[in-house]
C-alpha cells in the first residue's frame, strides 16, 4: 500500500493537532527520525513561539524546537493544511465539564476542522484519553461523511498517549505504544505509522480495547492512590508512619507495587480520566464504585491536610487566621512546572478562606498568575534562612528535588509534610 510505503520510507508528512504536553514531544520524535512534521493548533501565540524556535514547556528545550525547524517542522493555525499530511494525529485536551462529565468538544472541533480537508491515502490517529467507543461512534461517522471508506481509502486508529513529563528513565521512543484500528487494515497502517518512532507497538483487536487500556492504566493509579491516602489517615490516627510501612512492604519482591500518599490528586489525567468511564458505564446501567470511592477519598485529601495544619498551629497556640503559611511546590508533581489540577491550589484557597496569609515557593513556577479557577497573583519566594524563619508554617505540598530540605528544616518554625520527605521525626515536623 502506498501510504505504508510512504510511512516506512519516512517520506510521509506527519500532522500533529494540538501542540501541548503530548503533541510536542511526539512532534520532536517524528522530526528527529527525519519526517517532515506540520503542527496544527488553534493557539496562535503558541504557534508563533514554536515557529520562532522557542519552547513554552519547561522540560522541552528551545534547542530541540530549533532542531525540528531545521528538519522542516512548522506550526500553523490553518487547518486547511491538513490535506498536506499523510498522517493526522490528534493530541487535544479531553477535560471534564462542570458536571464532571466528559467534555469531548476539543476532539469534535478538531475532527470537524479537518474533515473538509481529508483525502484518500491518509491515516487519522486519536491519542487523547477518552471513553471506549469514542473513535468508532464519534470520529468514524465524521470521517465517513467525506464519502471515503474507512479501512480502504482512509484509515482510523486510536493510540493512547503515555507521556510522563519529567521521567528521566523513559521517553517517547522507549515507552511501548498501544494501538487499535477500526479495521485490520487500519491497524496495519497505524503500526507502520508508529513503528518508525516507537520501539514497541502493542496492537489490540479494536479501538475500544485500546481506549479501555488507557483508562485501566489511569484508574489503576487513581484507585491505588486513593487506597494509600485512606490508609495514611488510619495510620496517622494510630501513630504509625505510612511511609515507613510502604517502604517496608515494597521490599516484597512480588505481588506488591508501592503507591505514595499525598495532598490529593493532580495533573491532567489521573483526577479526570477515570470519570470518562464512569459516564460511559451509566449508558450500560453500570456504576463504577471503585472509581467513585477513590475520587471521594482523593478529593477530600486537601481538606484533611488543612485540618492537620490547623491542629499543628493550634498546638503552638496559633490560629490559621492571620498565620503566614508558605506553600512549597505548586506544580502537581515533583520536578515539573505543570500546575493543572494541582492540589496545592486548593490547599492555598482553603487556607486563604480561613484567613491565612499565603505565599508560595516553587523553583519551576516563578510567577503564579490568576487562572480560570483561582485569582492568586503571587511571585515565588526565595528560600533563605530569613524568609523561612518569617513564616508560621511551611506546608510541603510538592517535593521538588531542587528544594534545599536541610535549609528548610533548619529555619522553618513548623513544617507540615504531605509527601513523607522528612523521614526522621522532629518536634517541628508534622506529617499530613
Ligand X SMILES: NC(=O)c1ccc[n+]([C@@H]2O[C@H](COP(=O)([O-])OP(=O)(O)OC[C@H]3O[C@@H](n4cnc5c(N)ncnc54)[C@H](O)[C@@H]3O)[C@@H](O)[C@H]2O)c1
Which residues are identified as catalytic?
269
Q: Is residue 93 within the footprint of ligand X (CB under 6 A)?
A: yes
| 1-12 per-residue burial string, b: 16 or more CB within 10 A, e: under 16 | eebbebbeeeeb
Chosen residue from 31, 94, 213, 229 binding ligand X by CB under 6 A: 94
Q: Is residue 21 within the footprint of ligand X (CB under 6 A)?
A: yes
Q: How far is the CB of 355 from ligand X (least distance, A)?
A: 34
Part of the chain binding ligand X (CB under 6 A), chosen from 21-29, 81-89, 293-301, 369-377: 21-29
Cβ partners under 8 Å of residue 43, min gap 6: 19, 77
Q: Is residue 18 within the footprint of ligand X (CB under 6 A)?
A: yes
Residue nearest to ligand X (CB): 20
Q: Is residue 41 within the footprint of ligand X (CB under 6 A)?
A: yes
Q: Is residue 125 within the footprint of ligand X (CB under 6 A)?
A: no
Q: Is residue 277 within the footprint of ligand X (CB under 6 A)?
A: no
**Residue 124 burial (CB count, 10 A):** 31
Q: Is residue 20 within the footprint of ligand X (CB under 6 A)?
A: yes
* Residue 147, φ and ψ in degrees, nearest 5: 90, -5
d(CA 341, CA 374): 11
Measured from the CB atom, the residue of 36 and 177 that comes closer to ligand X is 177
Are 171 and 197 contacting, i.e. CB atoms less than 8 angstroms apart? no
Q: Is residue 193 within the footprint of ligand X (CB under 6 A)?
A: no
3-state secondary structure of 263: coil
Taking residues 43 to 82 in sequence order and writing x for each that binds ligand X by CB under 6 A, - otherwise, the string is x--x------------------------------------
Measured from the CB atom, the residue of 40 and 356 that comes closer to ligand X is 40
Q: Is 386 exposed, middle or buried (0-12, 13-18, 19+ CB in 10 A)?
A: exposed
Taking residues 153 to 192 in sequence order and writing x for each that binds ligand X by CB under 6 A, - otherwise, the string is --------x-x-x---------------------------
Q: Is residue 28 within the footprint of ligand X (CB under 6 A)?
A: no
- Total interface residues for ligand X by CB under 6 A: 27
- Complete DSSP assignment for 95-148: -B-TTS-B--HHHHHHHHHHGGG--TTEEEEE-S---TTHIIIIIHHHHHTTTP
Measured from the CB atom, the residue of 67 and 93 that comes closer to ligand X is 93
Measured from the CB atom, the residue of 27 and 323 that comes closer to ligand X is 27
Measured from the CB atom, the residue of 188 and 336 that comes closer to ligand X is 336
Chosen residue from 13, 22, 157, 235 binding ligand X by CB under 6 A: 22
Measured from the CB atom, the residue of 153 and 164 that comes closer to ligand X is 164
d(CA 274, CA 291): 6
* Residue 163, φ and ψ in degrees, nearest 5: -60, 135
Which segments of 234-392 are extended strands (E)? Answer: 324-328, 357-361, 367-368, 378-379
Strand partners for 395: 327, 416
Contact set for ligand X, span 210-269 (CB under 6 A) = 268-269
Q: Is residue 128 within the footprint of ligand X (CB under 6 A)?
A: yes
CA–centroid distance for 428 within its chain: 34
CA–centroid distance for 378 within its chain: 24
d(CA 59, CA 316): 41
Max CA pair span of the chain: 76
Please report, as ranges, the residues that interact with ligand X according to CB under 6 A: 17-23, 40-43, 46, 91-94, 106, 109-110, 127-129, 161, 163, 165, 268-269
Amino acid at each position: 500500500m502506498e501510504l505504508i510505503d510512504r510511512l516506512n520510507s519516512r517520506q510521509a508528512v506527519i500532522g500533529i493537532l494540538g501542540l501541548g504536553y503530548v503533541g510536542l514531544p511526539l512532534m520532536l520524535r517524528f522530526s528527529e527520525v527525519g519526517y517532515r512534521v506540520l503542527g496544527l493548533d488553534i493557539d496562535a501565540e503558541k504557534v508563533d513561539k514554536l515557529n520562532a524556535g522557542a519552547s513554552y514547556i519547561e522540560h522541552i528545550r528551545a534547542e530541540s524546537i530549533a532542531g525540528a525547524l531545521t528538519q522542516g517542522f512548522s506550526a500553523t493555525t490553518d487547518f486547511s493544511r491538513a490535506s498536506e499530511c499523510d498522517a493526522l494525529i490528534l493530541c487535544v485536551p479531553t477535560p471534564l465539564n462542570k458536571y464532571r462529565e466528559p467534555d469531548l468538544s476539543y476532539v469534535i472541533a478538531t475532527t470537524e476542522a479537518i474533515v473538509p480537508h481529508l483525502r484518500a491515502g491518509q491515516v487519522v490517529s486519536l491519542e487523547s484519553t477518552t471513553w471506549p467507543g469514542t473513535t468508532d461512534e464519534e470520529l468514524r461517522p465524521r470521517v465517513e461523511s467525506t464519502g471515503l471508506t474507512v479501512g480502504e481509502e482512509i484509515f482510523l486508529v486510536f493510540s493512547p498517549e503515555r507521556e510522563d513529563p519529567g521521567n528521566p528513565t523513559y521517553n517517547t521512543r522507549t515507552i511501548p505504544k498501544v494501538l487499535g484500528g477500526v479495521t485490520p487494515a487500519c491497524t496495519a497502517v497505524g503500526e507502520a505509522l508508529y513503528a518508525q518512532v516507537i520501539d514497541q507497538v502493542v496492537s489490540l483487536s479494536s479501538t475500544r480495547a485500546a481506549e479501555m487500556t488507557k483508562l485501566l492504566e489511569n484508574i489503576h493509579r487513581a484507585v491505588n492512590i486513593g487506597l494509600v491516602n485512606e490508609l495514611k489517615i488510619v495510620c496517622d490516627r494510630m501513630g504509625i508512619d505510612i511511609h515507613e510501612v510502604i517502604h517496608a512492604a515494597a521490599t516484597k519482591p512480588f505481588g506488591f507495587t508501592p503507591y505514595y500518599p499525598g495532598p490529593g490528586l493532580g495533573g491532567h489525567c489521573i483526577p479526570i480520566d477515570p470519570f470518562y468511564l464512569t459516564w460511559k458505564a451509566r449508558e450500560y446501567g453500570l456504576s463504577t464504585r471503585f472509581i467513585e470511592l477513590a475520587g471521594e477519598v482523593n478529593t477530600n485529601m486537601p481538606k484533611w491536610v488543612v485540618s492537620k495544619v490547623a491542629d499543628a498551629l493550634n498546638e503552638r497556640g496559633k490560629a490559621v487566621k492571620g498565620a503566614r503559611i508558605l506553600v512549597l511546590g505548586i506544580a502537581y508533581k515533583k520536578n515539573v512546572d505543570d500546575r493543572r489540577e494541582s492540589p496545592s491550589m486548593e490547599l492555598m484557597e482553603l487556607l486563604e478562606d480561613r484567613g491565612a496569609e499565603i505565599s508560595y515557593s516553587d523553583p519551576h513556577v516563578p510567577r503564579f498568575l490568576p487562572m480560570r479557577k483561582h485569582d492568586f497573583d503571587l511571585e515565588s519566594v526565595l528560600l533563605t534562612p530569613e524568609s523561612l524563619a518569617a513564616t508560621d508554617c511551611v506546608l510541603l505540598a510538592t517535593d521538588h528535588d531542587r528544594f534545599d530540605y536541610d535549609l528548610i528544616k533548619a529555619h522553618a518554625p513548623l513544617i507540615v509534610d504531605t509527601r513523607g520527605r522528612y523521614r526522621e521525626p522532629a518536634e517541628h515536623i508534622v506529617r499530613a
